[in-house]
Amino acid sequence: MEADAVVVGLGVGGEEVAGRLAEAGLQVVGIEANLVGGECPYWGCIPSKMMVRAADLLAEGRRIPGNAGTSVVTPDWAPVAQRIREEATDSWDDTVAVERFEGKGGLLVRGRARVTGAGSVEVAGETFMARRALVLATGGRAFVPPPFEPVAHWTNREAIETESLPASLVVIGGGAIGLEIGQAMARFGTHVTVVEQAERLVGPEEPEASALITEVLRREGVEVHTGVQIVRVEPFGASGATVHLQGGPDVSAERMLVATGRRSDLGALGVGALGLDENDRALPVDANLRVAPGVWAVGDVTGKGAFTHVAMYQARICVADILERPHAEADYRALPRVTFTDPEIGSVGLTEADARRDGGEVTVYHESVKDSARGFIHRGEGFVKLVARDGVVVGATSMGPYGGEVLGLLTLAVHARVGVETMRSMIYAYPTFHRAVDSALWSPPSNAAKMAGA
């Protein structure tokens, strides 16, 4: 079968590309092996943040004493599971998404595609030829290292789908997924242990963020082990695991969540037919998301960041390029990310350590959320940190209540190459959390690398 465009993978990025091209009048075939919409609406962003929201409500209820009276908080996972099932995922049914795509004129093909040439793919023995564009958007899957594979385990999918919580949970990996799910379940009463082989949690973030989230988790009863080596993993009970740590305690739990990142499988996709190395982690794309003549890619498979907002951003560029419309090329300098723990960790651009490695005159501005008016009112924890090079903001972190929302201001600053003096000249509403940005800019700057890892 021939079509103007063939889109392989209808996650958030692929669905956006396929839908936009169909709306533009192209004949589009969309190929999806699982659910149209992908990871985000069914096992990622939406349901996981429902979990986080519910857990945050419990935490807020426990903060009533000393602020607004007395409280007794009784956790109940049932309404959380029900909301995920009924409101977020339609019980993991993609009918609405399929109808949305087909309503735009697209043709959905169920199955797993393999590239057979620059403009062709094969699905279950049937070949689909793209006259104008082949778009690869197959995303990634939770990566489970070999030592953990034989032992009963959860990935984020099983954790999201669970109807009941385990009494204990060991989380392998101290990144965003593991910490969000781990903290949420801990607040519902699960005894949670986090094991991270690196020296600190959320390694890509500023060391101050790692230190504070570790302190908060331990205060909430979560056991945290960092800088440890896992010797072996063995079954424990009916569905759990025992994790043996070198020089440390054995950790046994009713369930084990493996949150060690995500990988794309280029071998299964068959990109060798395009002359590419199928052992690579990601597809090589240019600033217009082109992989080869007539071939584009968007989303996790490009290796530019496993975030929904990256896939959507790339989708817009990809569509414009295919339709030969004017557009800006991809620019990842101001790529924002948020870890939805409590407190939230929002960051964009370069960390202090990154900036110092890149050279130039680096200046750091820092303000504690506790020292801001809104932070004082909320008894909030966190900080705002701006990293400037040669007087221009190149990176920032906003950790605290609504840290991800404050990040919007900082992302714009990095994206637009705003100077420190320009940011100082702004008027910041008072008393708001983002007012801490203003306070940071007027605090004594640091030109010396003071923190560990810098």
| Rounded mean pLDDT, 310-322 | 98
Q: Give pLDDT, residue 451.
A: 39
pLDDT digits (tens, 9 = 90+) for 237-293: 999 999 999 988 999 999 999 999 999 999 999 999 999 999 999 999 999 999 999
**Residue 431: is the preceding peptide bond cis (ω within 30°)?**
yes
Q: How confident is the model at residue 454 (pLDDT cuts 50, 70, 90)?
A: very low
Percent of the chain with pLDDT over 90: 96
Structure tokens at 347: 């960051």
Structure tokens at 47: 């349901």
Structure tokens at 38: 């992908």
Q: In what order do the strands lie in the sheet with 250-253?
A: 230-236, 240-245, 250-253
269/40 Cα distance (integer angstroms): 21
| Rounded mean pLDDT, 42-63 | 97
Q: List the alpha helices (DSSP H) in 104-237.
A: 156-161, 176-187, 207-219
Q: Give pLDDT, residue 447.
A: 67
Q: Give pLDDT, residue 449.
A: 45
Total Cβ atoms within 10 A of residue 392: 16
208/33 Cα distance (integer angstroms): 42
Contact status, residue 59 vs residue 71, Cβ threshold 8 Å = no
Q: List the alpha helices (DSSP H) in 282-365.
A: 308-322, 352-358
Q: How far is CA 446 from CA 163, 204, 363, 368, in A?
A: 49, 21, 6, 15
Cα dihedral: 442, 444, 445, 447 (round 10): 170
pLDDT digits (tens, 9 = 90+) for 107-116: 999 999 999 9
Contact status, residue 294 vs residue 132, Cβ threshold 8 Å = yes
288/320 Cα distance (integer angstroms): 9
| Rounded mean pLDDT, 390-416 | 97
Contact status, residue 115 vs residue 267, Cβ threshold 8 Å = no
| Rounded mean pLDDT, 442-450 | 72
SS3 label, residue 63: coil
Q: Give pLDDT, residue 2.
A: 97
Q: Which H helix or E strand runs over 255?
A: strand 255-258
Tell me the residue ranges of DSSP E strands in 100-222.
107-110, 113-117, 120-123, 126-136, 141-142, 168-172, 191-196
**Residue 343: is the preceding peptide bond cis (ω within 30°)?**
yes
pTM greater than 0.85: yes
Does position 450 have pLDDT exceeding 60, yes or no?
no
Q: How confident is the model at residue 446 (pLDDT cuts 50, 70, 90)?
A: confident
Q: Give pLDDT, residue 140.
A: 94
Does position 376 have pLDDT exceeding 80, yes or no?
yes
Quick one: the chain helix, strand, coil %, rounded to 5? 35, 25, 40
pLDDT digits (tens, 9 = 90+) for 92-101: 999 999 999 9
| Rounded mean pLDDT, 331-335 | 97
Q: Give pLDDT, residue 327.
A: 97
Q: Give pLDDT, residue 453.
A: 33
Q: Which residue in this structure is represented by tokens 């009941």?
A: 164
301/298 Cα distance (integer angstroms): 7
Q: What is the CA radius of gyration of the chain?
A: 23
pLDDT digits (tens, 9 = 90+) for 159-217: 999 999 999 999 999 999 999 999 999 999 999 999 999 999 999 999 999 999 999 99
Q: Give pLDDT, residue 381.
A: 96
Q: How far is CA 200 from CA 176, 225, 323, in A?
A: 13, 9, 45
Q: Give pLDDT, residue 359.
A: 86
Contact status, residue 179 vs residue 217, Cβ threshold 8 Å = yes
Q: Give pLDDT, residue 409.
A: 97
Q: Which amino acid is at 266?
A: L
